[in-house]
Structure 1
Amino acid sequence: MEFVRINSSDNNYFDDVMNIYKVSFPIFEQRTIKDQMDVLKDDKYNCMAVCESNKLVGILLYWDLDNCKYIEHLAISPSIRGKNYGSRILKEFCENNETIVLEIDPPVDDISIKRLGFYSNLGFKLQEFEH
Protein backbone atom coordinates (compact mmCIF):
# COMPACT_ATOMS: atom_id res chain seq x y z
CA MET A 1 0.00 0.00 0.00
CA GLU A 2 1.14 3.50 -0.73
CA PHE A 3 -0.07 6.40 1.41
CA VAL A 4 -0.02 9.61 -0.64
CA ARG A 5 -0.48 12.82 1.33
CA ILE A 6 -2.81 15.36 -0.25
CA ASN A 7 -1.60 18.88 0.56
CA SER A 8 -3.79 20.86 -1.82
CA SER A 9 -6.67 20.61 -4.23
CA ASP A 10 -4.07 20.61 -7.02
CA ASN A 11 -3.07 17.04 -6.16
CA ASN A 12 -4.10 14.53 -8.84
CA TYR A 13 -5.96 12.42 -6.28
CA PHE A 14 -7.89 15.27 -4.62
CA ASP A 15 -11.15 14.99 -6.59
CA ASP A 16 -11.32 11.20 -6.29
CA VAL A 17 -10.50 11.36 -2.57
CA MET A 18 -13.28 13.89 -2.06
CA ASN A 19 -15.71 11.71 -4.03
CA ILE A 20 -15.01 8.73 -1.73
CA TYR A 21 -15.37 11.07 1.26
CA LYS A 22 -18.73 12.43 0.04
CA VAL A 23 -20.31 9.03 -0.66
CA SER A 24 -18.97 7.36 2.48
CA PHE A 25 -20.08 9.66 5.30
CA PRO A 26 -23.32 11.40 6.25
CA ILE A 27 -23.35 15.08 5.35
CA PHE A 28 -23.31 16.12 9.02
CA GLU A 29 -19.95 14.34 9.46
CA GLN A 30 -18.34 16.06 6.48
CA ARG A 31 -16.50 19.29 5.99
CA THR A 32 -17.45 21.37 2.99
CA ILE A 33 -14.96 21.15 0.14
CA LYS A 34 -13.80 24.69 0.98
CA ASP A 35 -13.28 23.74 4.63
CA GLN A 36 -11.47 20.58 3.56
CA MET A 37 -9.18 22.63 1.33
CA ASP A 38 -8.49 24.99 4.25
CA VAL A 39 -7.66 22.20 6.71
CA LEU A 40 -5.16 20.71 4.23
CA LYS A 41 -2.94 23.68 5.10
CA ASP A 42 -2.63 22.50 8.71
CA ASP A 43 0.62 20.56 9.17
CA LYS A 44 -1.01 18.31 11.76
CA TYR A 45 -3.76 17.20 9.37
CA ASN A 46 -3.12 14.31 7.02
CA CYS A 47 -5.42 13.60 4.10
CA MET A 48 -4.09 10.38 2.63
CA ALA A 49 -4.99 8.75 -0.66
CA VAL A 50 -4.30 5.05 -0.16
CA CYS A 51 -3.23 3.34 -3.36
CA GLU A 52 -2.33 -0.14 -4.49
CA SER A 53 -0.65 -0.64 -7.86
CA ASN A 54 -1.22 3.07 -8.57
CA LYS A 55 -4.99 2.66 -8.08
CA LEU A 56 -6.84 4.62 -5.40
CA VAL A 57 -8.43 2.11 -3.04
CA GLY A 58 -9.32 4.27 -0.05
CA ILE A 59 -8.79 7.32 2.08
CA LEU A 60 -7.41 7.84 5.57
CA LEU A 61 -7.86 11.26 7.17
CA TYR A 62 -6.12 11.77 10.49
CA TRP A 63 -4.54 14.29 12.83
CA ASP A 64 -0.92 14.00 13.98
CA LEU A 65 -1.32 15.17 17.58
CA ASP A 66 1.38 15.44 20.25
CA ASN A 67 0.54 12.14 21.95
CA CYS A 68 -1.35 10.18 19.29
CA LYS A 69 -2.64 9.87 15.77
CA TYR A 70 -6.37 10.65 15.74
CA ILE A 71 -8.18 8.98 12.85
CA GLU A 72 -11.04 11.10 11.69
CA HIS A 73 -12.18 9.18 8.59
CA LEU A 74 -11.37 5.87 6.90
CA ALA A 75 -13.23 4.83 3.77
CA ILE A 76 -12.77 2.43 0.90
CA SER A 77 -13.79 3.07 -2.69
CA PRO A 78 -17.38 1.77 -2.95
CA SER A 79 -16.61 -0.51 -5.91
CA ILE A 80 -14.07 -2.56 -3.92
CA ARG A 81 -15.53 -2.67 -0.41
CA GLY A 82 -15.59 -6.01 1.37
CA LYS A 83 -12.17 -7.08 0.05
CA ASN A 84 -10.18 -6.43 3.25
CA TYR A 85 -8.72 -3.11 2.12
CA GLY A 86 -9.89 -1.38 5.30
CA SER A 87 -8.21 -3.99 7.49
CA ARG A 88 -5.02 -3.89 5.46
CA ILE A 89 -4.85 -0.09 5.56
CA LEU A 90 -5.36 0.04 9.33
CA LYS A 91 -2.90 -2.79 10.01
CA GLU A 92 -0.19 -1.04 8.03
CA PHE A 93 -1.01 2.30 9.64
CA CYS A 94 -0.88 0.74 13.13
CA GLU A 95 2.46 -0.95 12.40
CA ASN A 96 4.01 2.42 11.62
CA ASN A 97 2.44 4.45 14.44
CA GLU A 98 2.26 3.92 18.19
CA THR A 99 -0.78 5.44 19.84
CA ILE A 100 -3.83 5.60 17.60
CA VAL A 101 -7.24 6.91 18.60
CA LEU A 102 -10.41 6.80 16.56
CA GLU A 103 -14.01 7.55 17.29
CA ILE A 104 -17.08 5.62 16.20
CA ASP A 105 -20.77 6.09 16.82
CA PRO A 106 -22.12 4.26 19.89
CA PRO A 107 -22.78 0.57 19.10
CA VAL A 108 -26.57 0.70 19.16
CA ASP A 109 -27.64 -0.82 15.82
CA ASP A 110 -26.45 -3.53 13.43
CA ILE A 111 -24.16 -1.25 11.43
CA SER A 112 -22.50 0.39 14.43
CA ILE A 113 -22.12 -2.99 16.20
CA LYS A 114 -20.49 -4.43 13.06
CA ARG A 115 -18.18 -1.38 12.92
CA LEU A 116 -17.17 -1.93 16.55
CA GLY A 117 -16.39 -5.58 15.73
CA PHE A 118 -14.27 -4.53 12.76
CA TYR A 119 -12.11 -2.23 14.88
CA SER A 120 -12.00 -4.65 17.83
CA ASN A 121 -10.71 -7.41 15.53
CA LEU A 122 -7.85 -5.08 14.61
CA GLY A 123 -6.88 -4.59 18.26
CA PHE A 124 -8.70 -1.37 19.06
CA LYS A 125 -10.25 -1.12 22.52
CA LEU A 126 -13.58 0.43 23.41
CA GLN A 127 -13.37 3.21 25.97
CA GLU A 128 -16.66 3.32 27.80
CA PHE A 129 -16.91 6.95 28.81
CA GLU A 130 -19.13 9.72 27.56
CA HIS A 131 -17.60 12.75 25.90
Structure 2
Amino acid sequence: MQLSIDTLSQKNREGFDDFYNIYSISFPLSEQKSKEELLEMLHSPNYTVFISKISNKTVGFCIIFHSFKTSFYLLEYMAVDTTQRNYGIGSKLFLYAIKEIFCKYGTKPLLVEIDSPHQKSQEQEIRKRREQFYKKLGCRKIDQFDYLLAIKNEQTAPLMKLLVYHTKMQNVLKPQLRGWLEDVYTLVYGCSKDDERIAKMFLNLPQTLNLI
Protein backbone atom coordinates (compact mmCIF):
# COMPACT_ATOMS: atom_id res chain seq x y z
CA MET A 1 0.00 0.00 0.00
CA GLN A 2 1.70 3.17 -1.22
CA LEU A 3 0.41 6.17 0.69
CA SER A 4 1.03 9.72 -0.49
CA ILE A 5 0.17 12.95 1.34
CA ASP A 6 -0.15 16.36 -0.27
CA THR A 7 -2.06 19.63 0.06
CA LEU A 8 -5.33 20.20 -1.74
CA SER A 9 -5.03 22.82 -4.46
CA GLN A 10 -7.60 25.59 -4.78
CA LYS A 11 -8.12 24.71 -8.46
CA ASN A 12 -8.52 20.97 -7.90
CA ARG A 13 -12.32 20.71 -7.92
CA GLU A 14 -12.29 16.95 -8.44
CA GLY A 15 -10.00 16.60 -5.44
CA PHE A 16 -12.32 18.79 -3.40
CA ASP A 17 -15.31 16.60 -4.28
CA ASP A 18 -13.40 13.46 -3.22
CA PHE A 19 -12.47 15.14 0.07
CA TYR A 20 -16.03 16.34 0.62
CA ASN A 21 -17.44 12.85 0.09
CA ILE A 22 -15.43 11.65 3.10
CA TYR A 23 -16.13 14.79 5.13
CA SER A 24 -19.90 14.65 4.70
CA ILE A 25 -20.24 11.17 6.22
CA SER A 26 -17.52 11.41 8.87
CA PHE A 27 -19.00 14.03 11.19
CA PRO A 28 -22.45 14.59 12.70
CA LEU A 29 -24.41 17.44 11.13
CA SER A 30 -24.03 19.43 14.36
CA GLU A 31 -20.27 19.66 13.71
CA GLN A 32 -20.27 20.24 9.96
CA LYS A 33 -19.67 23.40 8.01
CA SER A 34 -21.46 23.95 4.72
CA LYS A 35 -19.88 23.09 1.38
CA GLU A 36 -19.62 26.81 0.64
CA GLU A 37 -17.79 27.44 3.92
CA LEU A 38 -15.35 24.63 3.15
CA LEU A 39 -14.65 26.11 -0.29
CA GLU A 40 -13.97 29.47 1.37
CA MET A 41 -11.54 27.75 3.73
CA LEU A 42 -9.74 26.19 0.79
CA HIS A 43 -9.15 29.66 -0.67
CA SER A 44 -8.12 31.21 2.66
CA PRO A 45 -4.44 31.76 3.49
CA ASN A 46 -5.28 30.73 7.07
CA TYR A 47 -6.05 27.11 6.19
CA THR A 48 -4.25 24.13 4.72
CA VAL A 49 -6.12 21.01 3.66
CA PHE A 50 -3.91 17.91 3.64
CA ILE A 51 -5.11 14.85 1.76
CA SER A 52 -3.79 11.30 1.79
CA LYS A 53 -4.09 9.11 -1.29
CA ILE A 54 -3.62 5.47 -2.25
CA SER A 55 -3.33 4.87 -6.00
CA ASN A 56 -4.67 8.38 -6.67
CA LYS A 57 -7.77 7.73 -4.55
CA THR A 58 -8.35 10.12 -1.65
CA VAL A 59 -8.55 8.08 1.56
CA GLY A 60 -8.18 10.74 4.24
CA PHE A 61 -7.78 14.43 4.99
CA CYS A 62 -7.09 16.94 7.73
CA ILE A 63 -7.74 20.67 7.87
CA ILE A 64 -5.47 22.91 9.94
CA PHE A 65 -6.15 26.54 10.79
CA HIS A 66 -2.98 28.65 11.04
CA SER A 67 -3.23 32.40 11.41
CA PHE A 68 -0.36 34.76 12.16
CA LYS A 69 -2.82 36.53 14.50
CA THR A 70 -3.04 33.59 16.90
CA SER A 71 -0.65 31.90 19.34
CA PHE A 72 -1.96 28.43 18.40
CA TYR A 73 -3.00 26.23 15.51
CA LEU A 74 -6.29 24.34 15.29
CA LEU A 75 -6.82 20.88 13.83
CA GLU A 76 -10.36 21.62 12.74
CA TYR A 77 -11.23 18.35 11.02
CA MET A 78 -9.55 15.02 10.29
CA ALA A 79 -11.05 11.81 8.95
CA VAL A 80 -10.13 8.63 7.07
CA ASP A 81 -12.34 6.74 4.64
CA THR A 82 -14.29 4.07 6.54
CA THR A 83 -12.87 1.33 4.29
CA GLN A 84 -9.28 2.36 5.01
CA ARG A 85 -9.23 2.73 8.78
CA ASN A 86 -6.89 0.85 11.15
CA TYR A 87 -4.02 0.90 8.64
CA GLY A 88 -2.11 3.78 10.24
CA ILE A 89 -3.25 6.35 7.67
CA GLY A 90 -4.58 8.77 10.27
CA SER A 91 -1.38 8.70 12.32
CA LYS A 92 0.82 9.33 9.27
CA LEU A 93 -1.46 12.13 8.08
CA PHE A 94 -1.48 13.83 11.49
CA LEU A 95 2.29 13.70 11.98
CA TYR A 96 2.99 14.79 8.41
CA ALA A 97 0.64 17.77 8.69
CA ILE A 98 2.14 18.90 12.01
CA LYS A 99 5.67 18.69 10.65
CA GLU A 100 4.74 20.73 7.57
CA ILE A 101 2.88 23.40 9.53
CA PHE A 102 5.60 23.72 12.17
CA CYS A 103 8.32 23.99 9.53
CA LYS A 104 6.43 26.60 7.52
CA TYR A 105 4.86 28.73 10.25
CA GLY A 106 6.78 27.93 13.43
CA THR A 107 6.04 25.84 16.51
CA LYS A 108 2.87 26.68 18.43
CA PRO A 109 0.40 24.62 20.47
CA LEU A 110 -2.00 22.68 18.24
CA LEU A 111 -5.57 22.47 19.54
CA VAL A 112 -7.72 19.44 18.69
CA GLU A 113 -11.51 19.34 19.13
CA ILE A 114 -13.03 15.94 19.91
CA ASP A 115 -16.44 14.71 21.03
CA SER A 116 -16.43 13.99 24.75
CA PRO A 117 -15.94 10.27 25.44
CA HIS A 118 -17.68 10.77 28.79
CA GLN A 119 -21.04 11.80 27.35
CA LYS A 120 -23.40 8.84 26.93
CA SER A 121 -23.95 8.13 23.26
CA GLN A 122 -24.27 5.29 20.76
CA GLU A 123 -20.80 6.32 19.61
CA GLN A 124 -19.26 6.43 23.09
CA GLU A 125 -16.77 3.60 22.38
CA ILE A 126 -15.74 5.27 19.12
CA ARG A 127 -15.18 8.53 20.99
CA LYS A 128 -13.02 6.76 23.58
CA ARG A 129 -10.90 5.21 20.83
CA ARG A 130 -10.57 8.59 19.13
CA GLU A 131 -9.27 10.17 22.33
CA GLN A 132 -6.76 7.35 22.78
CA PHE A 133 -5.68 7.73 19.14
CA TYR A 134 -4.73 11.36 19.67
CA LYS A 135 -3.12 10.67 23.05
CA LYS A 136 -0.87 8.05 21.46
CA LEU A 137 0.26 10.72 19.03
CA GLY A 138 1.26 13.04 21.89
CA CYS A 139 -1.89 15.11 22.43
CA ARG A 140 -3.09 15.73 25.97
CA LYS A 141 -6.50 16.72 27.25
CA ILE A 142 -7.18 19.94 29.14
CA ASP A 143 -8.28 18.61 32.51
CA GLN A 144 -11.54 19.78 34.11
CA PHE A 145 -12.62 21.58 30.94
CA ASP A 146 -15.76 20.98 28.86
CA TYR A 147 -15.59 22.55 25.42
CA LEU A 148 -18.60 24.03 23.61
CA LEU A 149 -18.21 24.01 19.84
CA ALA A 150 -18.98 27.36 18.20
CA ILE A 151 -20.49 25.90 15.04
CA LYS A 152 -23.41 27.95 13.66
CA ASN A 153 -26.19 25.67 12.44
CA GLU A 154 -29.57 24.44 13.61
CA GLN A 155 -28.19 21.30 15.24
CA THR A 156 -27.33 21.00 18.92
CA ALA A 157 -23.57 20.62 19.30
CA PRO A 158 -22.42 17.72 21.48
CA LEU A 159 -20.31 18.12 24.59
CA MET A 160 -16.66 18.17 23.57
CA LYS A 161 -13.12 18.08 24.93
CA LEU A 162 -10.10 20.08 23.86
CA LEU A 163 -6.70 18.46 23.39
CA VAL A 164 -3.33 20.17 23.04
CA TYR A 165 -0.31 18.97 21.08
CA HIS A 166 2.91 20.56 22.31
CA THR A 167 5.97 18.66 23.52
CA LYS A 168 6.90 21.12 26.29
CA MET A 169 3.57 22.28 27.73
CA GLN A 170 2.43 20.71 31.00
CA ASN A 171 -0.51 23.02 31.72
CA VAL A 172 -2.41 26.02 30.42
CA LEU A 173 -3.35 29.13 32.36
CA LYS A 174 -6.97 30.23 32.43
CA PRO A 175 -6.34 33.63 30.73
CA GLN A 176 -4.30 31.92 28.01
CA LEU A 177 -7.07 29.40 27.35
CA ARG A 178 -9.68 32.15 27.22
CA GLY A 179 -7.59 34.03 24.65
CA TRP A 180 -7.35 30.89 22.54
CA LEU A 181 -11.09 30.32 22.61
CA GLU A 182 -11.98 33.93 21.87
CA ASP A 183 -9.79 33.64 18.74
CA VAL A 184 -11.33 30.27 17.81
CA TYR A 185 -14.84 31.67 18.16
CA THR A 186 -14.14 34.83 16.17
CA LEU A 187 -11.55 33.82 13.56
CA VAL A 188 -12.58 30.22 12.91
CA TYR A 189 -16.33 30.17 13.47
CA GLY A 190 -17.32 33.80 12.92
CA CYS A 191 -18.89 34.25 16.36
CA SER A 192 -18.49 37.08 18.85
CA LYS A 193 -15.71 37.09 21.44
CA ASP A 194 -18.51 37.92 23.89
CA ASP A 195 -20.45 34.79 22.96
CA GLU A 196 -22.27 33.55 26.06
CA ARG A 197 -20.89 30.05 25.50
CA ILE A 198 -17.37 31.28 26.28
CA ALA A 199 -18.47 32.73 29.61
CA LYS A 200 -20.28 29.47 30.37
CA MET A 201 -17.14 27.40 29.73
CA PHE A 202 -15.10 29.47 32.20
CA LEU A 203 -17.44 29.35 35.15
CA ASN A 204 -15.67 27.93 38.23
CA LEU A 205 -12.49 27.00 36.34
CA PRO A 206 -9.18 26.95 38.26
CA GLN A 207 -6.44 29.40 37.26
CA THR A 208 -4.19 26.57 36.07
CA LEU A 209 -5.46 23.60 34.06
CA ASN A 210 -3.25 20.55 33.69
CA LEU A 211 -2.72 18.68 30.46
CA ILE A 212 -3.37 14.97 31.09
Structure 2 runs not aligned, ≥5 long = 119-123, 147-200, 202-212
Q: Is the 8 A contact 1:6 1:49 kept in 2?
A: no
The whole-number CA distance in structure 2 between the counterparts of 1:87 and 1:40 is: 23
Question: Secondary structure at 2:39's aligned position in 1?
Answer: helix
| Counterparts of residues 1-131 of structure 1 (less than 5 Å) | 1-8=4-11, 10-66=12-68, 67-96=71-100, 97=102, 98-99=107-108, 100-108=110-118, 109-128=124-143, 129-130=145-146, 131=201
Report the Cα offset of residue 12 of structure 1: 2.7
Report the Cα offset of residue 110 of structure 1: 1.9
Report the Cα offset of residue 53 of structure 1: 4.6
Q: Is the 8 A contact 1:61 1:74 kept in 2?
A: yes
Deviations 1:37-64 (A, max 9, x none): 2332321022232224533221111201
Which portions of structure 1, spanning 4 or more consecutive aligned residues, are displaced by more than 6 angstroms? none
The structure number with the bigger radius of gyration is: 2
Q: Is the 8 A contact 2:5 2:93 kept in 1?
A: no
Q: Is the 8 A contact 1:6 1:46 kept in 2?
A: no
Letter in 2 for 1:14: F
Q: Compare 89-98 and 63-72 and name the one that shifted more.
A: 89-98
Question: Secondary structure at 2:139's aligned position in 1?
Answer: coil
Letter in 1 for 2:26: S
Question: Secondary structure at 1:31's aligned position in 2?
Answer: coil
Q: Under a length normalisation based on structure 1, what TM-score does the superposition of the two structures give?
A: 0.85
Letter in 2 for 1:3: D
Q: How many residues align?
A: 130
Letter in 2 for 1:125: R
| 1:93/1:4 CA distance change after superposition, 3 Å | closer
Letter in 2 for 1:92: Y
| 1:27/1:44 CA distance change after superposition, 3 Å | same
Q: Compare 60-69 and 71-80 and name the one that shifted more.
A: 60-69
- What is the RMSD computed on CA atoms of the aligned residues? 1.9
Deviations 1:105-128 (A, max 9, x none): 222132222111110011001112
The whole-number CA distance in structure 1 between the counterparts of 2:14 and 2:51 is: 10
Report the Cα offset of residue 6 of structure 1: 3.5
